[in-house]
Structure 1
Amino acid sequence: MAEKVFEPGIQAGRLNADAYESHFSDLHPPLDAHEAAVAADRCYFCHDAPCITACPTDIDIPLFIRQIATGTPDAAAKTILSQNIMGGMCARVCPTEQLCEQACVREEAEGKPVLIGQLQRYATDHLQAQGVHPFTRAAATGKTVAVVGAGPAGLSAAHRLAMLGHEVTVFDARPKPGGLNEYGIAAYKTPEGFAQAEVDWLLKIGGITLKHDMALGREVTLEELKDDFDAVFLGMGLGGVNGLGAEGDDKAGVSDAVDFIADLRQAGDLAKVPVGRDVVVIGGGMTAVDAAVQAKLLGALNVTLVYRRGRERMNASPFEQDLAASKGVRIVTHAVPMKVIGNGAVREIEFEYVNDDMTPTGQTLTLAADQVFKAIGQTLEGVGLPELAGKKIRVDSSGRTSVAGVWAGGDCASGGDDLTVTAVAEGRDAAMDIHAALTGGNA
């Protein structure tokens, strides 16, 4: 791969070594045993717990918190992992403030929920630190399943299928497994190589073979997989990126936020990751916030996140928006990019303000920029795919596609929200339906 060439304003090593370590340390330091016990003691252990309903993976939250409170965190971890095999990562990146913790009775009564996410991390970390795997495989079924994509949906499906006795082969386009967890999430949310450690731990179930640098439509086709395997699960996520659509958006210094985040996550030395002096991020989702915050943490002087609608319409949660602001990121709303200005490389970017209905106001904003990141949504890539619903693969409630023997889940499918925890749930549920189909209905 050719080495990237950057403009003079985009440079590495803006900070000293201590600053990098401090800036990219764990966003939420883990609870110790005493802190976990105190936090668990706040739970009412509701019989009809609203937090369970709010969890896309239906974890029995009161049960696992009670298990922590009684000094059995490994039992708590098994309660979590039986529903969400990637509970460790979800504890770090799931927007709990919008899901289980928002629904918590303590939040309703006091404005301070039980620390469900941090308690989940405490339990799963405790178990995984021992290097053991709490599940064993069922007797071999003699059936084989191909899984495309080693991200949250694919790995969740693969683990459940392997546990049920099937032989699973996972094909992934990248050189390392993990998908979004490895390449697409801010480094300060998953420090110390946790994403790969979780994958290594997950694979201890056995019966799963990984094949890297194998992209659907490039090295392997869906027809080939259908011929070679008894069932296929598609969980490859969204590999393409929407274009900016502004005049001059092909200038040097304009790039995709997902590539910036991936490069940062794979960097052995953060001091070698280049960043501009004046950075503009365009978008309103989690990717936009992660790119903006990390640009600031790398030493960019000015970072502005620009979104075309109001803050209440941003896909990034209020917590993430506040985090960005706390790190010095300026958030501008109701502005649409019109023109990238510069002689070969970006020097400024011009926006036009719009109303809530996206009609122009006639007012403009010009921002100095030597680096612009696009974070305006990703698109599905692939040839010979099943029928689409809009821009994603059409699936039913069990994850079945329009092609017999082919299931799909996660960001590439037309299911729920584009969240890690939702992808895990969809992979798990599709795996159960695949198992039923392969064994004559004995799910």
Structure 2
Amino acid sequence: MTQSPFTPGVASGRLAAPEYDANFSDLHPALDSHEALVAADRCYFCHDAPCITACPTDIDIPLFIRQIATGTPDAAAKTILTQNIMGGMCARVCPTETLCEEACVREIAEGKPVLIGQLQRYATDHLQEKGEHPFARAPSTGKSIAVVGAGPSGLACAHRLAMLGHDVVVMDARAKPGGLNEYGIAAYKTPEGFAQAEVDWLLGIGGITLQHGKALGTDVTLDSLRADYDAVFLGMGLGGVNGLFVEGGDKAGVLDAVDFISDLRQAGDLADLPVGRDVVVIGGGMTAVDAAVQAKLLGALNVTLAYRRGRDRMNASVFEQDLAASKGVRIMTHVVPKAIRGNGAVREIEFEYVNQDMTGTGQTVCVAADQVLRAIGQTLESDGLPDLESGKIAVSDAGRTSVSGVWAGGDCASGGDDLTVTAVAEGRDAAMDIHDVLMGAAG
């Protein structure tokens, strides 16, 4: 075990190599063919299909499950991918327990839904493992579109535009495409390089050029993109992180959870990644849970997730909360940080208990900590953007912004719920509107 000279208590190599492999193995192992047929057989194929209504991308779920049940998983995959080109990733990371599976008639009647997410993964994996691309480009339109951001929204937009015959240039500030799929999701949800494999497969449509190291506002401007391209789609996500403005918030050992997760995702060897003995994660969303669980899996002895409201108000689903608890993460609710203490490096964090209306009770508690991870929300960072609404780019239903010829979607745009599947839907729908405008079918 290697101790950090800067943050006492934070160290790498806390576990033996086999433990890392076991801890970060696939959270939901893939169904085999027999398991998929058994799971598909439970579907009622409802005529009103509440599961479709609950899916942000409107996948015809009964149809693709019937196609699996009849032994045609590749046809099922095409049904899925027609609506959601990143159906493989969404099958792994979507909170299906609060979307399609929560609406499933089996869930309502029996408390045990059809395994829609795992069936979706079975079908899309079956096709993508062949290396085949089920869609072909239309004849060239001669139009070119700039897409800023190679995350789920940008890639979904780019794919649909390319399929419609447009030439697309996707620009991203990072070295790899994928956005949060590559840098921001727990490693045990997408092991074995799946995020990059899906991007490579998606690019098989042709007509899409990737440019890395291109950040809006630094390397390119919106005005220059509007001048050089027929349309622009903004899908760069949220680059900033809300600060923790408390006494001692700048001590060594206080980190952003998104950076912790990104470093973990890009680590060549998890044994080289330092983690504290006593880790405290502040926040109640998916990022907070992903950071807390992974800190525990890296060998932290005590991990506490602290949230200012009750568990019923956490953005992380009940499944994710239960997953954290099952891994040994302690969840504290109705607490807000007051001070971080230590001699240069963090040694403990003081919380105050709060009421439902967020007023302080005067009661405090101190929690030992040598590493504090902030997961208290992200912010939009860039100059020269279209009009904003609540800190995000204001958009219409089709993603149109206040600037002519500019669309936006995903986490950087208003109105979404910060889910991968929603970002995909917004990118797809914006692409269709861009196409209609460029081809004269819409005003």
Question: TM-score over 0.5 for the alignment?
Answer: yes
Partner of 2:12, secondary structure, is coil
Q: How does 1:279-428 map to 2 (within 5 A)?
A: 279-428=279-428
Residue in structure 2 matched with residue 120 of structure 1 by the alignment? 120
1:8 deviates by 3.0
Partner of 2:195, secondary structure, is helix
Residue in structure 2 matched with residue 142 of structure 1 by the alignment? 142
For 1:394 and 1:50, locate their aligned partners in 2 and report how far apart those are by CA, in whole Å: 30
Residue in structure 1 matched with residue 13 of structure 2 by the alignment? 13
Partner of 1:366, secondary structure, is strand
**Structure 2: which 5+ runs fail to align?**
none
1:225 deviates by 0.4
Q: How does 1:246-261 map to 2 (within 5 A)?
A: 246-261=246-261
Residue in structure 2 matched with residue 264 of structure 1 by the alignment? 264
Partner of 2:170, secondary structure, is strand
Report if aligned partners of 1:409, 1:415 keep a CA contact under 8 Å in 2. Answer: no
Q: Deviations over 1:184-235 (max 9, x none)?
A: 0000000000000000000000000000011000110101100000000000
For 2:365 and 2:316, locate their aligned partners in 1 and report how far apart those are by CA, in whole Å: 23
For 2:349 and 2:189, locate their aligned partners in 1 and report how far apart those are by CA, in whole Å: 30
1:343 deviates by 1.0
Residue identity in the other structure for 1:273:
L
Report if aligned partners of 2:20, 2:298 keep a CA contact under 8 Å in 1. Answer: yes
For 1:404 and 1:165, locate their aligned partners in 2 and report how far apart those are by CA, in whole Å: 22
Indicate how the Cα distance of structure 1 residues 5 and 164 shifts in structure 2: closer, same or farther if over 3 A, else same.
Answer: farther
For 1:238 and 1:196, locate their aligned partners in 2 and report how far apart those are by CA, in whole Å: 21
For 1:92 and 1:291, locate their aligned partners in 2 and report how far apart those are by CA, in whole Å: 17
Is 1:34 the counterpart of 2:34? The answer is yes
Partner of 1:121, secondary structure, is helix
Residue identity in the other structure for 1:12:
S
Residue in structure 1 matched with residue 46 of structure 2 by the alignment? 46
Residue in structure 2 matched with residue 206 of structure 1 by the alignment? 206
For 2:269 and 2:373, locate their aligned partners in 1 and report how far apart those are by CA, in whole Å: 21
For 2:219 and 2:244, locate their aligned partners in 1 and report how far apart those are by CA, in whole Å: 29
Partner of 1:82, secondary structure, is helix
Compare 74-83 and 7-16 and name the one that shifted more.
7-16
Indicate how the Cα distance of structure 1 residues 204 and 279 shifts in structure 2: closer, same or farther if over 3 A, else same.
Answer: same
For 1:268 and 1:345, locate their aligned partners in 2 and report how far apart those are by CA, in whole Å: 27
For 1:205 and 1:142, locate their aligned partners in 2 and report how far apart those are by CA, in whole Å: 17
1:6 deviates by 4.2
For 2:301 and 2:391, locate their aligned partners in 1 and report how far apart those are by CA, in whole Å: 37
Q: How many pairs does the alignment contain?
A: 440
Residue in structure 2 matched with residue 196 of structure 1 by the alignment? 196
Structure 1 outlier segments of 4+, above 6 Å: none
1:5 deviates by 6.9
**Structure 1: which 5+ runs fail to align?**
none
Report if aligned partners of 2:88, 2:125 keep a CA contact under 8 Å in 1. Answer: yes
Residue in structure 2 matched with residue 184 of structure 1 by the alignment? 184
- TM-score of the pair, normalised by structure 2: 0.98
Residue in structure 1 matched with residue 245 of structure 2 by the alignment? 245
For 1:93 and 1:128, locate their aligned partners in 2 and report how far apart those are by CA, in whole Å: 17
Report if aligned partners of 2:149, 2:171 keep a CA contact under 8 Å in 1. Answer: yes
Residue in structure 2 matched with residue 106 of structure 1 by the alignment? 106
Report if aligned partners of 2:399, 2:430 keep a CA contact under 8 Å in 1. Answer: yes
Q: How does 1:209-224 map to 2 (within 5 A)?
A: 209-224=209-224
Report if aligned partners of 2:8, 2:345 keep a CA contact under 8 Å in 1. Answer: no
Partner of 1:15, secondary structure, is coil
Residue in structure 2 matched with residue 164 of structure 1 by the alignment? 164
Residue in structure 2 matched with residue 82 of structure 1 by the alignment? 82
Report if aligned partners of 1:387, 1:402 keep a CA contact under 8 Å in 2. Answer: yes
Partner of 2:79, secondary structure, is helix
Cα-Cα RMSD: 1.0
Q: Deviations over 1:130-170 (max 9, x none)?
A: 00000000000000000000000000000000000000000
- TM-score of the pair, normalised by structure 1: 0.98
Report if aligned partners of 2:282, 2:374 keep a CA contact under 8 Å in 1. Answer: yes
Partner of 2:19, secondary structure, is helix
